Structure 1
């Protein structure tokens, strides 16, 4: 498995690289033919001693879906350990799903597998939810502009259930995908109460919206 370790605003030491390499054996065991592990360390603000000043993002790229985790702590080692624990949990979920597809056991309930995840706040504007914390804003200065990052991904068709699984594996509150059944570009998202929603655009719908309900992994 290839390693890509980078730092933004912080120097990545040889000790940290060795630490990541030592932890990689477990990742290779659980991941589905992993090709690359990406570790990105980012220092938030100017002080390395401030709480949650270090962010570590881990991404496993392989034959299956991309699996990602992120954590913040006062130093990069602690942040890595937190992100690593999240990554292993998501790798185990993916490993269990591969067993399900081979017919080895009954799939676990979505509620059980997502009980530890925080739902998105439906009553609060998205801009407020994604805004940086006050400490980070002060460190960058009041005049710092609000940035919008654009990303492009390959349009790989998948089923709605698979899109839900992919969203949970990367640890996001939403996931953009192309619905294999309808051909529409869609967004699945996590709702309050351990349920999910999906939004799609259709030129045939003249006004308002059309909705329906279905069970996860029904049938």
Structure 2
């Protein structure tokens, strides 16, 4: 069963908006097992140029569903993000269910929900999406995050792995969708 945590940025979350979000996103419950308890974290943003962004994150045991959509209409963005979540589940259902069985996870398998079953060819095509086609070996040099961002930009990559000179942990800098930078720190 899904519960909802809905918050708004630059918008008041009225009862009608809350009801619409819950009605639309509850559609994915048909894919979750009956005994799965999850909270859908929904963030609604309205920008000054009248664009509406909807972000949904649903942490499940051993898996997190996440989708976001931007459009000129808040309700359209809610519809689009719901469709995107359903497509994600349909696309990865076979792989997630197989991995769950292999690892012995409980309460993780997606239900069929009257979805047309994947053919063997489609399943194999989806499997090949995760095939590792190249392996690189890195020797990490100690540096600070500003130098790592510079290296990342010089290489034209979207992320860069390095050893932090101060903490001696392996960290990752990455370019966010908004063009700014993020940092993932490892260790304690």
Measured against the shorter chain, the TM-score band is 0.5 to 0.7
TM-superposition CA deviations, 1:75-116 (whole Å, max 9, x none):
2101111111111111223432244345998533138879xx
Residue 36 of structure 1 is aligned with which of 39, 55, 58?
Answer: 39
Q: Which residue of 2 aligns with 1:23?
A: 24
Structure 1 gap ranges (5+)? 115-122, 133-146, 156-219
Q: Which residue of 1 aligns with 2:124?
A: 108
Query: What is the alpha-carbon distance in structure 1 between the residues aligned to residue 187 and residue 69 of structure 2?
Result: 26
Query: What is the alpha-carbon distance in structure 1 between the residues aligned to residue 124 and residue 175 of structure 2?
Result: 34
Query: What is the alpha-carbon distance in structure 1 between the residues aligned to residue 185 and residue 3 of structure 2?
Result: 23
Query: What is the alpha-carbon distance in structure 1 between the residues aligned to residue 186 and residue 54 of structure 2?
Result: 22
Q: Specify the SS of the correspondent of 1:90.
A: helix
CA contact (8 A) 2:71 2:77 kept: yes
Q: Specify the SS of the correspondent of 1:39.
A: strand
Q: How much is the aligned-residue C-alpha RMSD, in angstroms? A: 3.6
Q: How many residues align?
A: 128
Q: Which runs of 4+ in 1 moved over 6 A?
A: 111-114, 152-155
Query: What is the alpha-carbon distance in structure 2 between the residues aligned to residue 92 and residue 148 of structure 1?
Result: 32
Q: Which residue of 1 aligns with 2:86?
A: 88
Residue 55 of structure 1 is aligned with which of 48, 53, 56?
Answer: 53
CA contact (8 A) 1:41 1:56 kept: yes
TM-superposition CA deviations, 1:19-55 (whole Å, max 9, x none):
12212432112135241111111112x242xxxx110
Distance change (3 Å), C-alpha of 1:124 and 1:82? farther
Residue 64 of structure 1 deviates from its aligned partner by 3.1
Q: Which residue of 2 aligns with 1:159?
A: none
Query: What is the alpha-carbon distance in structure 1 between the residues aligned to residue 4 and residue 73 of structure 2?
Result: 21
Structure 2 gap ranges (5+)? 103-116, 131-154, 159-173
More strand by share: 2
